[in-house]
Amino acid sequence: MSRPVILAIDQGTTNTKALLVAADGSVLQSRSRAMRVHYPQPGWAEQSASDIWEAVAALIAELVAAAPGIPIAGLAISNQRETIVLWDARTGRPLAPAAIWQCGRSASRCAALRTAGLEHEIVARSGLSIDPLFPAAKIALLLDAVPGARERAARGEIRCGTIDSWLLWNLTGGGVHATDHSNASRTQLFNLDTLDWDAELARIFDVPMAILPKIVPSDGTFGTIAPDVTALPGGVPVQALLGDSHAALYAHGISEPGRVKATIGTGSSLMAATPGRVRSSRGLSSTIAWSRRDGSVQHALEGNISVSGHAVAFATSLLGLADGAALTALAQQVPDSGGVTFIPALAGLGAPHWQAGARGTISGMTLATRPAHVARATIEAVALQIGDVLDAIAADLDHSIAALSIDGGAARNDLLAQMLADLTGRTILRPTIAEASAMGVAMLAAAASGIEMRAGDPVATRFDPAMPTHDRNRIKRNWRHAVAGAIAQATG
Ligand SMILES: O=P(O)(O)OC[C@H](O)CO
């Protein structure tokens, strides 16, 4: 009998990817599609939920056509997290564009909750700081903004979910409204201790619990694909759902203390697996990495950076360059940033600062500043933000961190990887895992069927710190001042 092949989807903010993964971890086929993000108002960010579903369906069709006769045992989905969709239960039509994780529309509602003194209660229950990144406050805003939505929700006519849930609903022809623990734990409506939706959080955020999906283990039974909905035959099971960062952690195989991974995408997510819930005193999130059908739950500590690889895209366009490679080449023309510091708080500052109102700044310029210095400062900023979160994780875990494993699109950039080593003073490990998030969720799905899938060499390329300590300290000092300046502007 042929070994099973898994069709793994990674639905990200910038790209949707689809892979056919064999039981030995080899990628038989892969396809990708660029996604559009809309910024209808300053601080807002939206995507078309219909476009997201259509991209997934189109990529499934391309893979099926590219590999005729290959039996697909199941689907596994990793996804951008914290992005929220509301849709009509009968027609399946979205009520509004998806409010994506970068969308800051709920900033004033979040500020009001903080002013009301609810931060402690919310963090104690959800493990997450109050920030517009998390969907709870945005769900309430969407319900308030769409005429009649609250009444329809009360009549059971509205469904709500993160992208995994939206895709599952469509794949099952509207048959299944579910999510997994990893995605649920990012909504700020999930209680990390009871491992279920939290009625008090729902009350605080004014979200009717009836619109929320059922929570299923990440490798659980999510249902089967409905006939005539995709190019796959009806009956193919959806075998695993995982948030993208969680899936990457799984692919890295990180479970011991002292090892951390960074997924460097549009934003960045640093995550360390922890034996149980860690209560952060440094603004990090406690979260569920994944859950299994045997009832086990893996906890994790996470720091989210809102604008990371996106900072490179932003600076590329600001400097009128063709692409990120051109920006990197420009950055390599100078030995340092010439004292320029770029704080890419373009959608506020995430962990460990959580300043939703912070805005981007470029400081330290003189008449000698050239575009190359700004380019170099941009790549340094990606590394320095990651360094700040890494230090916070080390302090929260009270454990030294000698190495950081990296993945995600921007991780392929050698200059960034070396800067990470130089500016964090730690070894950077870059595995050969192709598409860590898609591979991670495929591996989880395979493991549930008793198949141990391997995802490549976990330490294929190594970058060691080479920068003199006094240079590192000088750059970090400038960075800290500039971060404090961006925060002071937001709060002053
Ligand atoms: O779209 P990505 O890959 O940058 O991932 C987004 C994150 O999941 C947001 O938390």
Output the pLDDT for position 433.
Answer: 83
Encoding tokens for residue 226? 């409905």
Output the pLDDT for position 491.
Answer: 78
Residue 370 burial (CB < 10 Å; 0-12/13-18/19+)?
middle
Q: Give the confidence band of 458 by pLDDT, cuts at 50, 70, 90.
A: low
ipTM over 0.90: yes
* Rounded distance between C-alpha atoms, residue 268 and residue 20, angstroms: 25
Report whether residue 13 contacts ligand 1, using a CB cutoff of 6 Å: yes
Mean pLDDT of 71-98: 96
Question: Would the pLDDT of 259 be above 90?
Answer: no
Q: Which residue from 17, 36, 80 has its CB within 8 A of the most atoms of ligand 1, so it is best to mutate?
A: 80
Query: Which residue bears the tokens 């989807």?
Result: 9
Q: Element (H or E) spanning 47, and its range?
A: strand 46-47
Encoding tokens for residue 224? 């089967």
Query: Which residue bears the tokens 């070894």?
Result: 427
Which atom of ligand 1 is closest in space to residue 79's alpha carbon? 8
Output the pLDDT for position 351.
Answer: 86
Name the residue at shortest CA distance from atom 3 of ligand 1: 12
Q: Which residue from 133, 186, 266, 288 has its CB within 8 A of the most atoms of ligand 1, so it is best to mutate?
A: 266
Which atom of ligand 1 is closest in space to residue 133's alpha carbon? 10
* Rounded distance between C-alpha atoms, residue 8 and residue 369, angstroms: 45
Task: Report pLDDT digits (tens) over 129-147.
Answer: 999 999 999 999 999 999 9
Encoding tokens for residue 216? 């299923």
Q: Give the confidence band of 354 by pLDDT, cuts at 50, 70, 90.
A: confident
Question: Would the pLDDT of 392 be above 60?
Answer: yes
Phi and psi of 236, rounded to 5°? -70, 125
Question: Would the pLDDT of 2 be above 60?
Answer: no
Report whether residue 304 contacts ligand 1, using a CB cutoff of 6 Å: yes
Outline where 213-339 has alpha helix (H). 244-252, 309-318, 324-331
Mean pLDDT of 339-363: 91
Phi-psi domain of 9 (left: phi exceeds 0; alpha: psi -120 through 50; beta: other): beta
* Rounded distance between C-alpha atoms, residue 489 and residue 491, angstroms: 6
Residue 281 burial (CB < 10 Å; 0-12/13-18/19+)?
exposed
Which atom of ligand 1 is closest in space to residue 266's alpha carbon? 4
The residues that bridge with 463 in the sheet, in sequence order, are: 428
Q: Give the confidence band of 280 by pLDDT, cuts at 50, 70, 90.
A: very high
Q: Element (H or E) spanning 28, and its range?
A: strand 27-34
Output the pLDDT for position 3.
Answer: 66
* Rounded distance between C-alpha atoms, residue 275 and residue 470, angstroms: 37
Where is pLDDT greater, at 44 or 434? 44
User: Rounded to the nearest whole angstrom, what is the distance from the C-alpha of residue 265 to the centroid of ligand 1?
Assistant: 7
Phi-psi domain of 238 (left: phi exceeds 0; alpha: psi -120 through 50; beta: other): beta
Which atom of ligand 1 is closest in space to residue 186's alpha carbon? 10
Task: Report pLDDT digits (tens) over 298-337.
Answer: 999 999 998 999 999 999 999 999 999 999 999 999 999 9
Q: In the chain, where are the structural domains located?
A: 5-245
Question: Would the pLDDT of 257 be above 80?
Answer: no
Encoding tokens for residue 331? 């950055």
Q: Element (H or E) spanning 8, and its range?
A: strand 5-11
Phi-psi domain of 378 (left: phi exceeds 0; alpha: psi -120 through 50; beta: other): alpha
Among residues of the chain, what percentage have pLDDT more than 70? 99
Where is pLDDT greater, at 314 or 3? 314
Question: Would the pLDDT of 292 be above 90?
Answer: yes
Report whether residue 303 contacts ligand 1, using a CB cutoff of 6 Å: no
* Superfamily holding 5-245: ATPase, nucleotide binding domain (3.30.420.40)
Output the pLDDT for position 294.
Answer: 94
Q: Do 101 and 79 contact (CB within 8 A), yes or no?
A: no
DSSP 335: S
* pTM for this prediction: 0.92
Q: Element (H or E) spanning 159, and its range?
A: strand 158-162
Output the pLDDT for position 152.
Answer: 97
Mean pLDDT of 250-274: 89
Task: Report pLDDT digits (tens) over 27-75.
Answer: 999 999 999 999 999 889 999 999 999 999 999 999 999 998 888 999 9
Name the residue at shortest CA distance from atom 6 of ligand 1: 80
Question: Would the pLDDT of 255 be above 90?
Answer: no
Task: Report pLDDT digits (tens) over 176-192.
Answer: 999 999 999 999 999 99
Report whether residue 245 contacts ligand 1, using a CB cutoff of 6 Å: yes
Task: Report pLDDT digits (tens) over 395-419.
Answer: 999 999 989 999 998 999 999 999 9
Where is pLDDT greater, at 283 or 20? 20
Residue 336 burial (CB < 10 Å; 0-12/13-18/19+)?
middle
Whether a cis peptide bond, with omega within 30° of 0, leads into 352 is: yes
DSSP 185: T
Q: Do 302 and 269 contact (CB within 8 A), yes or no?
A: yes
Output the pLDDT for position 221.
Answer: 85
Mean pLDDT of 227-247: 95
Length in residues, the chain: 492
Q: What are the DSSP calls for 413-439, one per residue?
A: -HHHHHHHHHHHTSEEEE---SSHHHH
User: Rounded to the nearest whole angstrom, what is the distance from the C-alpha of residue 267 to the centroid of ligand 1?
Assistant: 6
Contacts for 383 with CB less than 8 Å, ≥ 6 apart? 416, 419, 420, 422, 423, 424
Report whether residue 16 contacts ligand 1, using a CB cutoff of 6 Å: no
User: Rounded to the nearest whole angstrom, what is the distance from the C-alpha of residue 235 to the centroid of ligand 1?
Assistant: 29
* Rounded distance between C-alpha atoms, residue 435 and residue 375, angstroms: 26
Q: Cβ–Cβ contacts within 10 Å for residue 318, how many?
A: 14
Question: Would the pLDDT of 1 be above 50?
Answer: no
Output the pLDDT for position 314.
Answer: 96
Name the residue at shortest CA distance from atom 5 of ligand 1: 80
Which atom of ligand 1 is closest in space to residue 309's alpha carbon? 4
